[in-house]
Amino acid sequence: MANSSIGCNVTECKHHAKSINQCTLTHIEVTKHKNPATCSECTDCGSFEKQ
């Protein structure tokens, strides 16, 4: 079921709701891959899983 609290446009993820741009998980982990994070591109969804 889509979670209206987590908007997402990563349709390639197996957790994406597809019919609507939302995630189906109840919780996601947002991660950073630059420390300290200085821009939005430095952050990612750590709960992504390939379709």
Cβ-contact 49, 10 below 8 angstroms: no
Minimum distance, C-beta of residue 30 to ligand SF4, in the bound complex (Å):
9
Ramachandran class of 18: left when φ > 0, alpha when ψ lies in -120 to 50, beta otherwise: left
- Residues 1-51, interacting with ligand SF4 (CB under 6 A): 6, 8, 10, 13, 15-16, 23, 25, 28, 45, 47-48
Minimum distance, C-beta of residue 8 to ligand SF4, in the bound complex (Å):
3
Binding stretches for ligand SF4 (CB under 6 A): 6, 8, 10, 13, 15-16, 23, 25, 28, 45, 47-48
